[in-house]
Amino acid sequence: MHHGIRLFSTFAFLLFFTGALAAETVPTPPPKPASVSIVPAPPSVAAKAFLLTDFDSGAILASKNPDERVEPASLTKLMTSYIVAHELNAGKIHLDDLVTISEKAWKMPGSKMFIEVGKQVPVRDLIKGMIIQSGNDATVALAEYIAGSEEVFVQLMNQWAKKLGMTGTHFTNSTGLPDPNHYTTARDLAILARALIRDFPQHYAWYKEKVFTYNGIRQYNRNKLLWQDPSVDGIKTGHTESAGYCLVASAKRNDMRLISILLGADSARKRISESQKLLNYGFRFYETHRLYQAGQRLSDQKVWEGDTDLLAIGLTEDLYVTIPRGSYKHIKPMMEIEKVLKAPIHKDQQVGTLKVMLNEQVLAERPLIALNEVKEGSFFKKLSDQVKLMFADWLGE
């Protein structure tokens, strides 16, 4: 009897064991590879330097010699225009103000608005003359009106360049006329272009105007991309013999805005065709998403020794990422929070870091901040939490 049970048990064990072995040796299909978005290298661009960036995320999608010092020519007027817009917003000057044209402004060489010495011209017209006609005369007139002289205005230009983080830039005039100490970089121009669009969107609308007539003279915007590509709404051309042909362009398709910086092309036609290449490349192979809004509640975290037990955390600014088209589902946000959060915690205090990953690449890294204040709790609340923390520490939790 016992012998029969032993045989049955052994037989059952062998069946189980061999079955387990069989189950282990059954081949399983290989896992499906993750979908990979393939992005080709940027196109070959005939220019001394260039850079393509996304307006919202700041991601650089293509570049060549982005930090090389170059002559900006009339792209200089982007900084003059930025300061003019700032003065307008601050209420220090007004569009209807009349500016008396100095002899210096009237005599300026190069491209002109054709203003006359001694005449009074509204700020509004001078701005259009500077932006659309690239008038050196209008530019100097504005500089003198804002700062008293072009020399003092140049100080403002360099101070704003420093404030914006344009570390490779130095200005000696407001127009872009050649000077050995007047230089910038493609990266700095991208910083300036983003700031102009971001800080003064109403002022930026002037850059898409194609024609301006003043004093009976009709002149056309030199940015021919405005006619060629309906998504383009700016920004500015530049040209001197030494700088070559330059263009800072911006286009918006759907909810994505790109900015291209092209410096030192060998013809007006090339600066248009090469800029178009860059913009088409960026829009075709990349997409931009806003992942989180400023102040959005991303998580609630446990707080010890406070008058409340929970802390809402989020970001100080909207978070955008630019990624290869089709790879959005592979984005992984990771929060790194301080292990123990103790009151008091002030509003906007950093309590951790948010990293956004795509495969092994860090797309963005931002500080996580407290969205609300947590004050110290009562004596008994603090004592209770201290005991709980002590036991948690003992238990290794």
DSSP 341: -
- To the query of whether residue 381 is one of the catalytic residues in this protein, the response is no
What are the residues whose beta carbons fall under 8 Å from the beta carbon of 263, sequence distance 6 or more? Answer: 47, 48, 49, 50, 70, 72, 186, 189, 243, 244, 246
Catalytic annotation, pick one of 74, 102, 111, 260? 74
Beta strand pairing call for 49-54 and 60-64 = antiparallel
**Number of Cα atoms under 13 Å in the Cβ half of residue 329:** 5
What are the residues whose beta carbons fall under 8 Å from the beta carbon of 387, sequence distance 6 or more? Answer: none
- How far is residue 202's CA from residue 197's CA, in Å, rounded to a whole number? 9
- How far is residue 388's CA from residue 365's CA, in Å, rounded to a whole number? 33
Helices (H), 148-246: 150-164, 186-199, 201-204, 225-228
- How far is residue 172's CA from residue 48's CA, in Å, rounded to a whole number? 22
Q: Are 328 and 287 in contact (CB under 8 A)?
A: yes
Of 318, 330, 310, 287, which Cα lies nearest the Cα of 370?
310
Catalytic annotation, pick one of 57, 111, 134, 174? 134
Of 355, 354, 352, which Cα lies nearest the Cα of 339?
352
SS3 content of the chain, % helix, strand, coil (to 5): 35, 30, 35
- To the query of whether residue 74 is one of the catalytic residues in this protein, the response is yes
Q: Are 185 and 67 in contact (CB under 8 A)?
A: yes
Q: For residue 4, report the phi and psi dihedrals to the nearest 5 degrees.
A: -65, -40
- To the query of whether residue 163 is one of the catalytic residues in this protein, the response is no
Catalytic annotation, pick one of 48, 57, 63, 77? 77
Q: Give the distance between the most distant pair of CA atoms in the chain.
A: 126
- Which amino acids are annotated catalytic? 74, 77, 134
